[in-house]
Every structure is written in C-alpha cells, then in structure tokens.
A and B are shown apart, each in its own frame.
Chain A
Amino acid sequence: MTLQVEVAHRLGAAFSLDARFAGSGGLTALFGRSGSGKTTLIDVIAGLIRPDRGRVLLDGRPLVDTERRIFVPAHRRRVGYVFQEGRLFPHFTVRQNLLYGRWFAPRQDRYVKLGDVVDLLGIGHLLDRRPHGLSGGEKQRVAIGRALLASPRLLLMDEPLAALDEARKAEILPYLERLRDETKVPIVYVSHSIAEVTRLATSMVLMSEGRVVATGSVADIMGRLDLHPVTGRFEAGSVLETRVVGHDRAFGLTVLRAASGDLRVPYADLPIGSRVRARVRARDVIVAVRRPEGLSALNVLPGRLSEIGAHDGPIADLRLDLGGDVLLARVTRRTIHDLDLVPGKEVYAVIKSVAFDRHSLGQAVSSESRRP
C-alpha cells in the first residue's frame, strides 16, 4: 500500500490545511495537538471533505485530484473510518452493524470474515445486543470491527480512544496492536496522545497548525529536541526499541535489551524475544558524569552527550547518544553549568525502573515480519 496526500483546504477564515505526506503500510500516526488539522486531513482522505486543491492517491490511483477534476465519492473509496464517537447505528444489532459494510463490498474484494473479526476484537458475546447498552470500550471495538468488515483498502482511525477512560484504553490497545500486526490493512491513526503513538505507530506524521512539521519513525521524531514545542514539552521523551531477554520473577522485573544496554522494568507479561518499544520521558532521566554507585535506580547506561536543546528558562533538554539509541534527559541549566556539560562529553544516563508503567511499554511490530 502506498498513500500519497498533498492537499490544501481552507476551513473558515481562521484555519487552513496545507499538508503533504506519504504512508506505506503499517500504522501511520498523525500526531499533533487538538486543532492541528488531523481530523480534517483524514476527512479529506475518506471523502467526507472535498479539498480546495490537491490530490490523494491510494496505490497510485487517485481518490481525489482537483487538477484532473477527479473526486471519488466516499462510498466508492473503500476507505474504512473509525470515528472518535463510534457512530454505531442505533437501530441495528451489533451483528447487523458489523455486517453493514460487508454487504456493499464487492464479493471478490471481501477479505475479512466475521468470525475472524469477532475473535480479534473479542466481541462474540455482544452480537445480539444493541449499541445503546454497550460500554464505551465495547462500542469502539464494534466500530473497529464494522470498519474492518467492509474490507477496506485503508483504515482511518480518528482518536478512537480519546473518549474512553484509562481502563477502557488499556482494554482496547492490545486489540489495536493485533489489528496492526495480524491484518494487512494499512492504518492511518489520528492521535494527540504520545503514549498511544509510541505504542502503536510504525511511522508518524507530526502536524501543527494545519502543516506537516516532520515525518519519520517514532524514535527519530521523539528524539529531536527542536520538535518539543510541537510534540509537547511536558511529555517529551525518547523511544527505545528493545527486546525481552528475561524475567526476574523473584523481584517482579522484566529485562529489556536495547542497543545500548539492558533495562529493568516492572514485570510485563510478554514472552522472551518479543519486541517492545519503551518510552522514556526526559524528566525521568538523570545524568551523571561518573558511573554512579549505591543508587536505588536499576538502570545505568553509558553514553555521550550529543546536543543541548534551547535553554532560556531554568530547564534544558539534553540529547544523549547511547551507542545506537537516543535518550533525552531533562535537567536544570544549573546542572549544565555545575557538571560542565558540553556536547561530546561522556555521561551516564540513570533511569528508575518505576518510571516505566504499562502505558510506556508497547509491543512493537518487527518490520521484517510484516507481510506486504
């Protein structure tokens, strides 16, 4: 799958969208704050908005091309859409909701089976109920299943977790990971949550005020100090690609191996060998210039200071190069002065194990296991 988007659209006097990006398989996250134009952009891809100018190509075929006067209506695009609020049909049962789109898909293009979707999303016990009795999380799973059963060529998801509480989010995230890994549907996923994007995204598109600011892998974008004003200062942090190498059951810990060394994190119920993406917030990282001893923190990784971010206030972000991994650390300007931190200096990064919670660990898909 290749998706090519280059569109310009004006909404009212205040907001204009002018965005271009390309996606190729996996889960592409559109990340940005509320009002950055993410939803407008996927509405254009879905055919719910006709852009003023530009084009959207899916596998080379135009869905819209204003220059060539092409506009494929939404119902002929076979682009699935999971809305923030579910939008289940209240007059149908769950089963009827699920099968709605399947009915319109051409027979030879139906590659999704009801049984598979029901198993994938764990909604077998809901089939004969009506949407109004379902919990938010159940509704959202049914909405995902409904979009899938239309056998879409591309699946758009607009903050499918935003309306849910933490427990419901935790309930759905594993299903989204399975969706990404076990189906071959490419996904464009809109979110303003770093935790979700870190956990789910194969690649990400960073948006701000209707423009695409950066595209690339999650680790690359999160590791860039200059993007913090856009990605959000408070949540700033880097992403490490790791693999589970062992469990320390006696102390309830799991050992993750990153390129730069081992990380001990609270126990995660994952088999040895699974790939895990770990997000480390900059404010959870301590920097030392000598290997510290007698410390409660279990993770000490050696590295080199590669960049000091803008620091006009009391705080600055440091970019540490840990032999292949990038780690961000947030320190005071006073620290930079006292420890005489300059780019190139050998340092140690200290991370408390308890800084990792289940929201900062996600099972990452290995790119080589993905089928085209």
Chain B
Amino acid sequence: MFDLSPDEAMAIRLSLRVAFWAVAASLPFGVLVAFILARGRFWGKPVLDGLVHLPLILPPVVTGYLLLVLFGRQGPLGRFLDETFGIVFAFRWTGAALACAIMGFPLMVRAIRLSIETVDRRLEHAAGTLGANPAWVFATVTLPLILPGIVVGIILSFARSMGEFGATITFVSNIPGQTRTLPSAIYTLTQVPGGDAGAFRLTAISVAVSMAALVLSEVVSRLIARRLGTP
C-alpha cells in the first residue's frame, strides 16, 4: 500500500525541502522580530505586531496573491531581487518556501516571543556584571534559556509549512517537481479519477509527519526542561 509512485515521492521530498528552507531562512528573522516585540518599546510596535500576525488571519489565498503582486516577476520586490541578486521566487520551489515561511512566521514569532518574555532578565544583568558584553549575554544566557520556545517555534512553523496550500498554490501554482508540495499533490490526486489510493497514501504520510513533529517537540522540550531543572 505504501508503494509510492515517483510523483508522490517527489511531492514528499519537495515538501520536506520547502519546509526545511522555509524554517531555516525565517528563523533568524523570527528570533529578531520576537525580540523586538518582547523587549522593544517604540511607537510603531502595534503596527509591527499586526503585520506579523496578518498571515494568521488573512485568507491564505489573499496572502498568496499579495506575494504574487510583490514578488512576482513584474512585482517591485521580485524584480529588484532578480536584478540585484538573481533570486527568483515566481513559480519556483523557492517561492513555495517563501509562502510557507510567511504563513508559518506568526506561529514561530509567537512561540519565541513568549519564551523571551519569561526569561529572568536579572540573569542577564548578572552575566553583565561578570564581564559578558550584550552579544555574549545573548549567546550564553538568553539563547539557551529561550531554546524551548525556539524549538516549539521551529516545529510549529515546520508543520505549518508541510500543510501550506492556499498561499503556495496562488503564488507559485502547482507545477510537478517545482511547486507541487504534499497538499497540492493530494489536491491534484483528488481531482483525477482513480487518484483516491494515492491521495490516501499521501494523507497518511502527512498525518505521520505532523504527529512525528509534535512528538519530537514534546521530547525536545522535556529534555531541555530537565537540563534547566524545571519539572
């Protein structure tokens, strides 16, 4: 039953690659934005907060369309990135990764921000009096203490990326081997006669990957909690 067709295997590999890069590329920004939102005090903070959360409440199709307008070949950002760095998003797997990163971003930021807000800043001050400059304080004290939040953020964003459909298909369409991720492949299979078996196989894999991600996040959180000595 789990003899995957080459197309199905390709969709799974593509989805994993897209999700990996979506998470990896957005993580530094996620930590940065979470820090700004958790610690920053500035005038436009509610605006930034709203902007980050927008993909969570907008219909994914709208997010996808906005990405198409901004990052398409004729879009202002898309053209700039193409001409300056040779980076193209339109109808490439990189575009799917971008869509997934944007969709998973609010989840990632929320998880990391929560953990930053629970960090005892007095520990950071203590590190300062021991001679650590702010960068070292971040690397040796803050970062290890917010690791549980980062892990949860990574896993939520990864799971969201594995399941992203609306924004991806709107932004970069449904091209086999390029932008046909797992959900797109399932959707395609349900549209053709005799595709039920394939759709079911991919659905089972989708469930398995999501479950594995959840279990993994639980295990990692526990390990870190034990290290930190909190039950």
**Pair from one complex:** yes
List the 5 closest A-B pairs by CB distance, nearest first.
Answer: A132-B229, A104-B131, A101-B130, A81-B129, A87-B126
Whether the pair B123, A87 counts as a contact (CB closer than 8 A) is yes
Contacts of A76 in B (CB 8 A): 131, 133
Which chain A residue shows the least CB distance to B131? A104
Known: A75-B132, A75-B133, A104-B136. A89 touches B229 (CB 8 A): no
| Interface size in chain B (residues, C-beta < 8 A) | 23
Instruction: State in angstroms the CA–CA spacing of A189 and B144 once bound together.
Output: 31
The residue from B130, B134, B227 contacting A91, defined by CB atoms under 8 A apart: B227
Contacts of B132 in A (CB 8 A): 75, 100-101, 104
Whether the pair A89, B122 counts as a contact (CB closer than 8 A) is no
Whether the pair A83, B131 counts as a contact (CB closer than 8 A) is no
Known: A74-B125, A130-B229. A105 touches B131 (CB 8 A): yes
Asked if B141 CB lies within 8 Å of chain A CBs, one says: yes
Whether the pair B129, A80 counts as a contact (CB closer than 8 A) is yes
What are 13 residue pairs bridging A and B, where the CB atoms are less than 8 Å apart in the complex? A48-B125, A48-B128, A73-B128, A75-B130, A75-B131, A76-B133, A90-B230, A91-B144, A100-B130, A100-B140, A101-B132, A104-B136, A130-B229
Asked if A281 CB lies within 8 Å of chain B CBs, one says: no
Known: A87-B122, A104-B136. A79 touches B228 (CB 8 A): no
Known: A87-B122, A89-B141, A91-B145. A131 touches B128 (CB 8 A): no
Asked if B127 CB lies within 8 Å of chain A CBs, one says: yes
Which chain B residue shows the least CB distance to A100? B130
Contacts of A89 in B (CB 8 A): 123, 126-127, 141
Whether the pair A90, B228 counts as a contact (CB closer than 8 A) is yes
Which chain B residue shows the least CB distance to A146? B130
- Per DSSP, chain B at the interface is helix
Q: Nearest-CB distance from A97 to chain B (Å)? A: 10
Instruction: State in angstroms the CA–CA spacing of A73 and B126 once bound together.
Output: 13
Whether the pair A74, B128 counts as a contact (CB closer than 8 A) is yes
Contacts of B120 in A (CB 8 A): 87
Asked if A78 CB lies within 8 Å of chain B CBs, one says: yes
In A39-77, which residues have CB < 8 Å from any B CB? 46-48, 73-77
Q: Nearest-CB distance from B128 to chain A (Å)? A: 4
- Chain A contact residues, CB within 8 Å of chain B: 46-48, 73-81, 83, 85, 87, 89-91, 100-101, 103-105, 130-133, 146-147, 150
Whether the pair B130, A147 counts as a contact (CB closer than 8 A) is yes
Contacts of A132 in B (CB 8 A): 228-230
Known: A90-B228, A91-B228. A104 touches B125 (CB 8 A): no
Known: A87-B122, A91-B144. A133 touches B229 (CB 8 A): yes
Instruction: State in angstroms the CA–CA spacing of A48 and B127 once bound together.
Output: 11
Instruction: State in angstroms the CA–CA spacing of A146 and B125 once bound together.
Output: 14
Contact with A along B119-155 (1 / 0, CB 8 A): 0101101111111111011001100110000000000
Q: Nearest-CB distance from A146 to chain B (Å)? A: 7
Q: Nearest-CB distance from A73 to chain B (Å)? A: 8
Contacts of B127 in A (CB 8 A): 89, 100
Known: A89-B123, A91-B144, A91-B145. A74 touches B129 (CB 8 A): yes
Which chain A residue shows the least CB distance to B229? A132
Extra contacts besides A78-B131, A91-B144, A103-B131 (15): CB < 8 Å: A47-B129, A48-B128, A75-B130, A75-B132, A76-B133, A77-B129, A87-B122, A87-B126, A89-B141, A90-B145, A91-B145, A91-B228, A104-B131, A147-B129, A150-B130
Instruction: State in angstroms the CA–CA spacing of A42 and B201 once bound together.
Output: 66
Instruction: State in angstroms the CA–CA spacing of A229 and B125 once bound together.
Output: 35
Instruction: State in angstroms the CA–CA spacing of A77 and B133 once bound together.
Output: 11
Contacts of B134 in A (CB 8 A): 75
Whether the pair B130, A83 counts as a contact (CB closer than 8 A) is no
Contacts of A78 in B (CB 8 A): 131
Instruction: State in angstroms the CA–CA spacing of A187 and B134 once bound together.
Output: 26
Whether the pair B129, A46 counts as a contact (CB closer than 8 A) is yes
Instruction: State in angstroms the CA–CA spacing of A101 and B127 once bound together.
Output: 8
Known: A74-B125, A104-B136. A90 touches B131 (CB 8 A): no
Instruction: State in angstroms the CA–CA spacing of A101 and B126 once bound together.
Output: 10
Contacts of B229 in A (CB 8 A): 90, 130-133
Instruction: State in angstroms the CA–CA spacing of A73 and B132 once bound together.
Output: 10
Q: Nearest-CB distance from B130 to chain A (Å)? A: 3
Known: A48-B125, A89-B123. A101 touches B145 (CB 8 A): no
Whether the pair A101, B144 counts as a contact (CB closer than 8 A) is no
Contacts of B228 in A (CB 8 A): 90-91, 132
Contacts of A87 in B (CB 8 A): 120, 122-123, 125-126
Whether the pair B130, A79 counts as a contact (CB closer than 8 A) is no
